[in-house]
Chain A
Amino acid sequence: MARLLILFVLMLTPAQALDPGEALADAALETRARALSQELRCMVCQNQSIDDSDAPLAKDLRQFVRARLLAGDSDAAIRAAVVERYGEFALFRPPVAPHTLALWAMPLLILLFGVVMAWRLVGKSARQNTSTPLQ
């Protein structure tokens, strides 16, 4: 019950983003920090990024990201470090890998499939047009 209540309260806490003084002075680094933060999941929240959440854990992770950026790490290295800690579940943008191939390829495949189907319908029209004019 207590756990449920905690979950309930967490779920209802409105999103509030950064705290004062968290932002980096370097505008370019801060832009990267924001972009990265929006891709990282707050692990104790209901489907919020660490950029949107005011949970203490999200704040820790935001500070972690900024510290690593200041240390000169690349975005990929920071993502990898977060995955090592929390698993791939922490990434809102899953990496392209064998198990996510269907996820990334499906939109393109559906689009191509649609184009092929439409092409066949229209091609049929072109063939028919030469013999019998449409109505």
Chain B
Amino acid sequence: MPAPFSGQGLTPILQDPALAAHPPLLYAGYVGFSMAYAFALAALTGKEDGQDWARRMRPWILAAWVFLTLGIALGSYWAYYELGWGGFWFWDPVENASLMPWLAGTALLHSALVAEKRDTLKRWTLLLAIITFALSLSGTFLVRSGVLTSVHAFANDPERGLFILAILGLFTLAGFLLYGLRLPHLAADRPFQPVSREGLLLVNNIFLATATVTVFIGTIYPLILDALGMGKISVGAPYFNAVFAPLTVPFALLLPLGPLANWREGSMRPLQNKLALAAGAAALVTCGIMLTRGAASLMVVALFAAALWLFFGAAIDMAQRLAPYRARLHKFWSLPASAFTAPLAHGGLAVMLLGILAATQWREEAVVAASPGQQIEIAGVALRYDGLREVDGPNYTAEQARLTYMSGPHQGAHLYPERRFYEAERSQTTEAAITTDLIGHLYAVVGEASGDKRVLRIWYHPYVALIWLGAVLMALGGSFALATRLRRQM
């Protein structure tokens, strides 16, 4: 067979700067968790049953978690602007593969804190460290072996899959075996009070573990059923949304209490007034939203309220931590980094939840076959379709449409959505044109010809940027925690 004149080239939708950073970030996250695994195994093989391993493990977990958070967020943002309609999470197996170690890693982050500070939950933390790394490995296996069909599976190879499976099996089995053998010799967990920081962190772990198992079972259930010959089923977004929504509400409601409670013996009583303030603020904003926008269901109302409560709870937490430094708030760099760890991470989660809710509930969509000169109304603005022209890129040709804002703050501005054809790869991509209004996006895509007209798809995604802003805040919170830790060690 003669060598082809030109190769297949890189899949066009992957020819994007964000995709240069996305895989290394994820990788740093996965690999970082191998350190947690290593410390867990070292702790299990060692004779000493102290807390030292937890203290040493934490910075590695934090670093891995920050990378994984950013990696997943970047992947989500890429999918949002590149796949052509503004979806940001599909509950696709490949996404789930990265979400599982993230969820388990988040649980580990918190349980290792309890192990370090209070010398309890150690057996659980060790198990969690093994599980988190096993999930990182199984993510690689699921994504790269070709056992799954996914919109994101770009390089599959069953032979390599077998190799990854062998690695996965080795590390997982070795970890669990050692854990099982050593478990009887490990000191029993020191009991503690339910209303205390460790008690609430344990609750957090229960929810995160449930979430991890949900994603795991939802991802592999169809494979198992198929392997057992019990039929082919699909588990997709509607399943995960149905399970995650009722889990998120109690999780977010309990979450702000953890950082506010004391270690050992907690009482929420001293914080009663402030918590009431947060609850009142959350209730007020929720009512405001419902009155102006309405709500699709009771669950949506509950989710909004829980996310807002989480947000105000994080604000109170930050205020509490900064209270002793009230006199020098203007000297930002002299403030302790620890004042920004949990509040930023938890506030970030609240911001992300609010972004997800707003963007999914209030999205507007216009799909029209337009002739040049035609106007399209969406989200209170009018856009005029001006026509189409051919554009040549470095390795593609494109049809580029032009849209003009006829009203609103962007009046006179243009949007240039493209439809690109990559000759070498024989495929096409859509390049959405996005106008950012602070945190909402107008998202325009040019589609195929429809007679002598052209299909235009325009969306308004309100507050959608909050999703990734929330992820960045979470990563920032993790970075502050890492900074505090490293400074203390030096």
Interface residues of A (CB under 8 A from B): 5, 8-9, 11-23, 38-39, 41, 45-49, 52, 54, 87-94, 99-100, 102-103, 106-107, 110-111, 114-115, 118, 121-122, 124-125, 128, 134-135
Q: Interface 1/0s, chain B 187-211, versus A by CB < 8 A?
A: 0010111100001001101110110
Supposing A15-B83, A92-B236 touch, asked if A107 and B243 sit within 8 A by C-beta, the answer is yes
Besides A46-B149, A46-B153, A87-B231, 7 other CB < 8 A contacts? A14-B84, A14-B85, A92-B238, A124-B191, A134-B192, A134-B264, A134-B265
21 contacts between A and B (CB under 8 A): A9-B427, A12-B429, A13-B428, A14-B85, A17-B85, A17-B365, A17-B457, A22-B367, A41-B234, A49-B237, A52-B85, A93-B236, A94-B233, A100-B221, A103-B235, A103-B239, A106-B213, A114-B209, A114-B210, A125-B193, A134-B264
CB closest residue in chain B, given A39: B238
**SS of B interface (majority):** mixed
Chain A residues with Cβ below 8 Å from B150 are 46-47
Q: In whole angstroms, what is the CA distance A125 to B149 when docked?
A: 48
Q: Identify B209's interface contact among A45, A89, A103, A110, CB under 8 A.
A: A110
What's the least CB distance linking B365 to chain A, in Å? 8
Q: In whole angstroms, what is the CA distance A93 to B457 when docked?
A: 27
Chain B residues with Cβ below 8 Å from A111 are 206-207, 210, 247
Q: In whole angstroms, what is the CA distance A121 to B192 when docked?
A: 7
Chain A residues with Cβ below 8 Å from B214 are 106-107, 110
Q: In whole angstroms, what is the CA distance A49 to B240 when docked?
A: 14
Chain A residues with Cβ below 8 Å from B85 are 14-17, 52
Q: Are A93 and B231 in contact (CB under 8 A)?
A: no
What's the least CB distance linking A123 to chain B, in Å? 8
Q: Are A94 and B235 in contact (CB under 8 A)?
A: yes
Q: Are A41 and B236 in contact (CB under 8 A)?
A: yes
Q: Are A12 and B206 in contact (CB under 8 A)?
A: no
Interface centre among A12, A52, A125 (most CB of B within 10 A): A12
What's the least CB distance linking A135 to chain B, in Å? 8
What's the least CB distance linking A45 to chain B, in Å? 8
Q: In whole angstroms, what is the CA distance A22 to B457 when docked?
A: 13
CB closest residue in chain A, given B230: A99
Q: In whole angstroms, what is the CA distance A134 to B150 when docked?
A: 52
CB closest residue in chain B, given A119: B194
What's the least CB distance linking B249 to chain A, in Å? 13
Does B12 make an interface contact (CB < 8 A)? Answer: yes
Q: Are A21 and B83 in contact (CB under 8 A)?
A: no
What's the least CB distance linking A129 to chain B, in Å? 8
Interface centre among A41, A89, A110 (most CB of B within 10 A): A110
Q: Are A122 and B210 in contact (CB under 8 A)?
A: no
Chain B residues with Cβ below 8 Å from A134 are 192-193, 264-265
Q: Are B238 and A47 in contact (CB under 8 A)?
A: no
Q: In whole angstroms, what is the CA distance A92 to B91 when docked?
A: 11
Chain B residues with Cβ below 8 Å from A122 are 191-194, 199
